[in-house]
Amino acid sequence: MRQLLSILTLVLMSFPFSAKAVLPSEIMNDPTLEARARTLSLELRCLVCQNQSIDDSNAELARDLRVLVRERLLAGDTDEEVLAHIRERYGDFVLLNPPVQSSTYILWYGPIGIVVFGGGLALLTMRRKNRSGIGSSLTEAERDRLSAALQQEGD
């Protein structure tokens, strides 16, 4: 019986449970509107947590944004109108996937630029080391001893 309970516990623990921060008081009575609200909430960033959607965040501002989304949907706004309203108030940063435009180029292309710059710097450093040669840091006496040792080894 204990083995069965242990196996059942392991199986249940292997399922990913996503903790949603939506409070029961926020849930809309209309399942269609609630589904739209949840979909929109997954597209919006919590401005406090910054790496979570407002659907996953327990922050007060995230709660306010969830309520705002639901209010706009109840007012008859389309999904695009809701997102446009929130973007107008909070800017593109509120979107988890901001659009590619001149103000977000650094966000989209900055990491690629850093990798290219770092790779170029590493390549330049390696080329400089290869040009200087292996024995350039040796004195003349050390080079003579190294040559003699290598010659003895070859004999």
pLDDT digits (tens, 9 = 90+) for 76-99: 999 999 999 999 998 888 988 888
- Give yes or no for a contact between 79 and 36, defined as CB atoms under 8 angstroms apart: yes
Tokens of 94: 């509120």
- Structure confidence at residue 18 (pLDDT): 46
Tokens of 68: 């705002």
Of 68 and 30, more confident: 68
Place of tokens 């083995």: 3
Class at the top of the CATH hierarchy for domain 2-99: mainly alpha
Nearest to 41 by CA among 62, 72, 59: 62
Give the pTM. Answer: 0.57
pLDDT (average), residues 1-28: 66
Percent of the chain with pLDDT over 90: 36
Nearest to 53 by CA among 43, 38, 61, 63: 43
pLDDT band at 10 (very low <50, low <70, confident <90, very high): low
Domain with CATH 1.10.8.640 in the chain: 2-99
- Structure confidence at residue 146 (pLDDT): 87
